[in-house]
Amino acid sequence: MVLKFKRNLVKSPTSYELSFTPLIAVIFLILVLFMLSSSLTFQKGIEVKLPKAVTSDTLQEKNSVVSITSENVIYLNKSVMTIKELEKILKNPKLQSRPLLIKADRRASVGRVVDIWDLCRKLGIEKLNIATNQEN
C-alpha cells in the first residue's frame, strides 16, 4: 500500500504567515511588569490625627499647609522639610501674604509647633491657623 501526501506547491517562497501569539504574550508580560512596578511605588499621604476643639471654624481661604507628624517630621504642602528649609521657603513674599495652616498631630511635640509658630512671627506671617477637628 502506497500513501500519497499532498504537497502545497501553490505558495511562493516569498509569502510568509505571521503568528501574533508571541507578540500578544510579550505585550501581556510587559503589561504585568508595568502593573507590578507601579503598585510598588505608591506613596501614602501624611498621617496626622488632629486634636479636637469646641471652638473651631472652617477656613475658606487657600492656605499653605505645614504638617507635623507624631514623629515630629515637618512637611510643607506634602514635601519633607527641616526648620531651616521651611524658613527659606516662607521668606518668599507670595507665601507670606497667604494664610498658613499648621496641622499638628495630637502626639506631636508642642515644642515643634512653637518653633514653627515662632518662625512665622519672625517672618511677619500674620495669618496663622492651627487645624483641629470639631468636637461633637
Query: What are 44-67's pLDDT values in tens digits?
Result: 666 666 666 656 566 656 778 888
Range 64-78 average pLDDT: 86
Pairing mode, if any, of strands 64-68 and 74-76? Answer: antiparallel
Residue 29 has pLDDT above 90, yes or no: yes
Domain that holds residue 95: 52-134
Number of domains in the chain: 1
> Domain for residue 110, yes or no?
yes
Range 14-32 average pLDDT: 84
Residue 32 has pLDDT above 80, yes or no: yes
> Domain for residue 91, yes or no?
yes
Residue 117 has pLDDT above 80, yes or no: yes
pTM of the model: 0.57
> Domain for residue 11, yes or no?
no
> Domain for residue 46, yes or no?
no
Rg (Cα) of the chain, in Å, rounded? 31
